Amino acid sequence: MQIGIIQGHTRIIGKSQGYLGLPLRDIVTNDTVNGPETPAMETAWIPDPAEIAAIVAGAPIILRVLGIGHPPVMLYVGEVPPL
């Protein structure tokens, strides 16, 4: 997966730590566990053609979190970009 530039990004994180810069969008959401106005961050990831073929063939999408504590996360498909 390649890092995407999410529409409306509000900051770029990680670059000062030696990682590639990761554009993210700060949002608030209504969460069933944490309640209304829960702060959250969204990033975009773009699969390459081989990854798209693997997904179509049934391969799972794997989320890797560094460390030993797992934060609450959610994966979903964004909107199709305009042509």
Output the six-digit token pair for 4: 């995407």
63 vs 83: CA distance, rounded Å: 28
pTM of the model: 0.85
pLDDT per residue as tens digits for the range 6-47: 999 999 999 999 999 999 999 999 999 999 999 999 999 999
**For residue 81, what pLDDT is reported?**
84
* DSSP annotation string for 39-58: EEEE-EEE--HHHHHHHHTT
